[in-house]
Amino acid sequence: MFGATVNWDGGASTVTIDYTKKNIEEGLAKKFESYEKAFAEKYDTYKGYADGTGNVVNAEIQLEDGGNIELELYPDIAPKTVANFVKLANEKFYNGLVFHRVIKDFMIQGGGYDTDMTQHETDTITGEFLQNGSFNMIPHERGVISMARTAMSMDSASSQFFIMHRDSPSLNGQYAAFGKVTSGMEYVDKIAETETHSLTNMGMDDVPVQTQIIKTIVIK
């Protein structure tokens, strides 16, 4: 609880916690000040991305069927996430993997399974999003790329990413968005609208019937 104070009388048994309105309000004010300070520090960074002058890393997802999805990534907002994505791309980790989970009007997810639906795993990274203490305010809007993770751990993202097909504000602050599509959204749309089915023997839903293969990801 924000603003809770513990008064201990020196013994081992008496602990009281002050949840008074004044104390809670003071605690909330301090918390707000910390966010305000973080926002002030990030203001120029976000302004730069908004007006096109920010520091970006350019990448391209090349699909097996010939389509290309071009991205700009934001290392000043999600440095560990961008560095991890760049590292895996340069190591050719993503070559031949697929978009294995596709939900129309939500997102397309890939980067963790091959065409045989064998999972490819790598090291996990710190989740760079607000709920995990990182001041990342990139909204999960159409075209934004973000890291997938398990519900059980905020620091469980590794290689799997997803690209938003439609806006989904409920994800804001809970997943590490780290860039956006700048060209090729028609290929995101095409993948999002493909027919899907369930692989009951593997416990997987929303799997494309026609395999959507990532040929490679190139960092420019």
CATH code, 146: 2.40.100.10
DSSP result, 54-83: S--EEEEEEETTS-EEEEEE-TTTSHHHHH
Task: Summarize the confidence of residues 203-211 as an average pLDDT.
Answer: 96
Tokens of 165: 């097909």
2-49 confidence digits (pLDDT tens)? 333 333 344 444 444 444 556 556 655 665 566 666 666 677 777 777
Per the structure, the complete domain to which residue 68 belongs is given by: 57-219
The residue among 51, 67, 85 that closes a domain is 51
pLDDT of residue 40: 67
Q: pTM of the prediction?
A: 0.82
pLDDT of residue 53: 78
What pLDDT band is residue 54 in, cutting at 50, 70 and 90?
confident
- How do beta strands 107-114 and 161-164 pair? antiparallel
Do 43 and 63 lie in a common domain? no
Do 204 and 180 lie in a common domain? yes
Q: What sign for the dihedral angle of Cα 141, 144, 149, 155?
A: negative
DSSP-based helix, strand, coil % in the chain, nearest 5: 25, 30, 45
Do 76 and 177 lie in a common domain? yes
pLDDT of residue 89: 98
Q: What sign for the dihedral angle of Cα 19, 21, 26, 32?
A: positive
Which segment of 36-45, 149-158, 211-220 scores lowest on mean pLDDT? 36-45
